[in-house]
Amino acid sequence: MTPEFLVGFAQEAIKTTILTAAPMLGLGLIVGLAVSIFQSVTSIQEMTLTFVPKILAVLLGLLFFLPWILDKLMTYTKTIIEQLPMYIR
C-alpha cells in the first residue's frame, strides 16, 4: 500500500461521511436558526424550545433521506469489498 492509496481511501471515506451526514446537519442548522430568530423576536428564552424542533427535524430528515443515505453507504461498501483483493497486494 502506497501513501497515495491510503490518502485516496481516507478521502473517499470522509467524503462519504460528509455526504451522508449533511442533510440532517443542514436541517438541524436551519431549524435551529429559525427557532433562535423566533426566540429573539418574542423574547422567549425557554431552553427546551431549541432542542425539540431540531430533534424532530433531524428525525424527519432521516426518514426522508434514508433511502439515499443507504444507497450511498451500500455503494461505498460494495466498492470496498469488490476492490479488497487489490488492497491485500
pLDDT value for 47: 80
Q: How far is CA 57 from CA 18, 26, 31, 68, in A?
A: 18, 10, 7, 17
pTM of the model: 0.80
pLDDT value for 27: 95
The one-digit pLDDT tens for each residue of the chain (89 residues) are 788 888 988 999 999 999 999 999 999 999 999 999 998 899 888 888 889 999 999 999 999 999 999 999 999 999 999 988 887 77
| Contact yes or no for 12/76 (Cβ under 8 A) | yes
| Contact yes or no for 16/72 (Cβ under 8 A) | yes
Q: How far is CA 31 from CA 12, 47, 54, 78, in A?
A: 29, 15, 6, 34
